[in-house]
Amino acid sequence: MAKVTGPLFSMGARGSLGKAIVYSFWKGTNVVREWLKPANPKSGNQGDRRIILGGMGRSPKYVQSEKVYYNFCKAITPSGQSWISQYVRYIINTYMKSTDDYVDYIAAFALHTANVAFYSEALALGLTDFTLPYKDKVTGFGHGLQLYVLAQYACDQYLLDNTKFNAEPYKTALASWDEAKIQLMVADFKPAV
């Protein structure tokens, strides 16, 4: 009888063998599994969810590390989690649980009195619209909406605990924001010049 110290196919192989099996390393163990063709049907519903998540992921792009907004976000983020994942989870769970919720949220944003200012400040910041060719109910995630969602998050955090985001413009109800408030928030994203 042979003594095996490196069992068959488990000595650190990585990659695939044809389109039959895949070797990988998972949780400290060498594993072999059947190769499966990735499924990506690009359905309308899948496109809608990807637009929502993609837009949410792009919105904090210009929030720089160690600046006012970033520091407020880091202060309320649980240990071991990124502030962006905390932010996305909060907005999705609070406002965008379904595609219909997202469509309603866009409609509410369109009625905001500073809607045009959110778009112009977002454009000046460098944010761009996000969309996909396959979608159902969602047209896209506009750059103005991306900035608005960052404002929503900050104002909500202040309302939940007035020791968080305890500064202007976040202490002012989002419905009352004007271009000056939006510019204050954008100034909190980057270093002073």
Instruction: Give the model confidence (pLDDT) of 70-103 as tens digits.
Output: 999 999 999 999 999 999 999 999 999 999 999 9
In a domain, 193, yes or no: no
Q: What is the DSSP string of 137-171?
A: S---B-HHHHHHHHHHHHHHHHHH-TTTT-STTTT
Residue 51 has pLDDT above 90, yes or no: yes
pLDDT band at 16 (very low <50, low <70, confident <90, very high): confident
DSSP conformational letter for 188: T
Cα–Cα distance measured from residue 59 to residue 110, given in angstroms and rounded to the nearest whole number: 17
In a domain, 25, yes or no: yes
Do 53 and 14 fall into the same domain? no
Q: What percent of the chain has pLDDT over 90?
A: 73
Residue 39 has pLDDT above 80, yes or no: yes
pLDDT band at 5 (very low <50, low <70, confident <90, very high): very low
Do 161 and 87 fall into the same domain? yes
Give the closest residue to 154 by CA, choosing from 111, 184, 124: 184
Average pLDDT of the segment spanning 46-67: 92
Number of domains in the chain: 2
Give the closest residue to 129 by CA, choosing from 118, 121, 141: 141
Residue 2 has pLDDT above 50, yes or no: no
pLDDT band at 122 (very low <50, low <70, confident <90, very high): very high
Question: Sheet harboring 15-17: ordered strands across?
Answer: 15-17, 21-26, 29-34
pLDDT band at 117 (very low <50, low <70, confident <90, very high): very high
| Contact indicator for 138, 51 with CB cutoff of 8 Å | yes
In a domain, 4, yes or no: no
Domain residues for 95? 44-187
